[in-house]
Amino acid sequence: MTRLAMFLMLVISVQFAEAQLFDKEKIQNNQNFDKSLLSWGYYLGFNSYDFNFDYNQNLRDIQVERSAGFSVGLIGNLRVSEHVDVRLEPGLVITKRILRYHPSYFFGMEFNDADLEREVRSTYIHVPLLLKLSTKRVNNIKPFIVAGLSTALNLSSNQDNPDDNSVGEFRAKKSVVFYELGFGIDLYLFWFKFTPSVRGVFGFNDELIRDADPNSPWTGNVASMKTRGLFINFTFQ
């Protein structure tokens, strides 16, 4: 689903950009839109999250099966100059990852197929603060890049659950801090501004909560577990 959305976004953006770039007489839509000090909007999108693991010992990597998630949120935009904006984009992010462990992690132990897999569902309240750097507007398009920091509260973290993986409960920390990098293109339509964008998010902090047993096959060999993800957003302003 994520690849299909990215492909459709790319096709639509390229076709629109070609029409704008090669038609020198194009009438500009919403000519004064970017002159407002403050502007608002909302976004819908898809996401795909992963974990980046570092290990204590040289065992098989934990495999992460990703799936397409859903994102929705609001946008507040502060115009700093013609080419610089500051954006606050609080939103709700829902995603799922499945961790698959190699049987070598359970050497000398009794285990079953269920022990080799952990489902990690995450529901984030995600709050990024971004710096947006735009090029000069050409007809009805304006490409840009964004970079910034964000924090997220994982409502499905299981952080306060006293049970651990020994009874099937995978736990992570509630609070996550990210840095974000991305790009997109503003498309000025007749009634509103439509913006497809792609953004990567990369966690700073180790999110894993270790099991009570320091030799746990699920957490004992993990030095750090950090989130990374890809957003494909469609913004309406």
pLDDT of residue 20: 47
Q: Which domain holds residue 97?
A: 2-236
CATH code (residue 231) = 2.40.160.20
Confidence of residue 179 (pLDDT cuts 50, 70, 90): very high
* pLDDT higher than threshold 80 for residue 123: yes
Residue type present at position 59? L
pTM of this structure: 0.83
More confident residue, 32 or 48: 48
pLDDT of residue 25: 56
- Mean pLDDT computed over 28-52: 91
pLDDT of residue 34: 84
Q: Which residues contact 136 (CB under 8 A, 6 or more apart)?
A: 83, 142
- Mean pLDDT computed over 201-206: 96
pLDDT of residue 9: 53
- Mean pLDDT computed over 11-30: 57
- Mean pLDDT computed over 62-81: 96
Long-range contacts for 207-212 (Cβ within 8 Å, ≥24 apart)? 207/154, 207/172, 207/173, 207/176, 208/171, 208/172, 208/173, 209/158, 209/159, 209/164, 209/171, 209/172, 209/173, 211/164, 211/165, 211/166, 212/164, 212/166
Q: How far is CA 37 from CA 33, 77, 86, in A?
A: 10, 8, 11
Measured distance CA(105)–CA(221) in Å, rounded: 9
Number of domains in the chain: 1
- Percent of the chain at pLDDT > 70 equals 89
Residue type present at position 98? I
Q: How far is CA 186 from CA 17, 191, 216, in A?
A: 10, 13, 49
Confidence of residue 3 (pLDDT cuts 50, 70, 90): low
- Percent of the chain at pLDDT > 90 equals 80
* pLDDT higher than threshold 90 for residue 59: no
Q: How many CB atoms lie within 10 A of CB 215?
A: 9
* pLDDT higher than threshold 70 for residue 183: yes
pLDDT of residue 49: 97
Confidence of residue 223 (pLDDT cuts 50, 70, 90): very high
